[in-house]
Structure 1
Amino acid sequence: MNAQPLIEDLQGDPEIAMQAALNLWNSAAAPVCAAQPDLCSAIRASVAHGNRSAAALLLLGYDTSTAATAALEQAATTDDTEMTRLQPWSEQVPVRLPADVALSRLGDPAARARIFGTIEAGDLASLAFLVAVLRDIDSPEVLQALSRTLNDDREIPVDPTGAPPAVRLLQDVATEAFITRLGLSVSFQQDANGHYSAAQRQEVLAQIKGSIPQ
């Protein structure tokens, strides 16, 4: 991947930098940033200059430098009035949440404990965010805890640029997210605009329990 255009955009004005981070996070190549020191440095610098987008913070979870950890620890201490979002259509969540996800990926047990607290609290926007970033969560315990979202029938916003509807049930989005994250083989077809029956969601839950260490 040619990182130079991304590096230049990350060094641009705040809106361009945030979009650059999101473009990278949205790509399948996001995890390789950890193997590209120049790109990691640009992301760290962007965050240091005020880029508190969820995507930028999540990308630091693939950067094992002490500077990245320090930046994330600082972001994780912000209060709940400092908000960010992942996608343009996403609900806002506290800046500390993507920071905690990234720190957890880097092995921080305190951040992981805070994520468990967030899951227990049951805030819809926070749960939807965590489901959206399953790729960035490598803790079996957190994944198991999040599997409860397969029985959450509250509505969340989804990408409005696709076919209707612009909202879906969290349990339906979570069903697809876990299938993708864990590479599950299920007996039914996925439907990006539809609903999944209780039996279909139970099938996924059973496979989650079988594929993730208890």
Structure 2
Amino acid sequence: MAISRVVFLLSVLVLFTVSTATSVVDFCVADYQFPKGPAGFPCKNPANLTVDDFVYSGLGVRGDTNNIFKLGATFAVDTTFPALNGLGLSMTRLDLGVGGVVPIHSHRVSELILVIDGPIISGFIDENNVAYYKKLNKGDIMIFPQSMLHFQVNVGKKPALAFVSLNSANPGFQTTSVSLFGNDLPTNVIEKITLLDAKQVKKLKKIFGGTN
């Protein structure tokens, strides 16, 4: 009796596994009419989709580099390209003016950069404070492991261009300087945690929109 019961339970488990596996959809184009949840956006009705839902032309346009970092970043993520919803990947176009930088930042996922027009100094810093960096030229690629602080600097005499891919449709972006100086954390607290003086902190708060 016990063996029969085990066989029966295993059969139910196999049937449940098969039915669950076969219920997974091939894609889930985001429906922006509904709010985003932890698992992404709800799906559009497949009957209403066309090939245009799977095409995004935004990365063909040069980004605006008229800012303090001389950086134009154009994102193809789930909030700009609905077909990426739930598929675990995204892309970003990076336009760097002469002397432009992608300031040190991190994501909750890994990133791969492909240089289209350089040279660009690119690197990351690991948890042991070891810096891995190199000058990349046209056609070079470099990987930035998950959560590592990383950056890019245009060291050429003309604008540079690169594309990055990330293994999430919602990779998250946290830029260190903006996070530190673009909030209402009191100046005296930032002095203590950065070892900067009040004058420097207030200058950076003014640049990045912070208060206090």
Specify the TM-score bucket, using the shorter chain as the normaliser. under 0.3
Q: Which structure has more helix as a fraction of its residues?
A: 1
In our comparison, the structure showing a higher alpha carbon Rg is 2
Tell which has more relative contact order, 1 or 2 (C-alpha 8 A, sep 6+).
Answer: 2
Q: TM-score w.r.t. structure 1 length?
A: 0.26
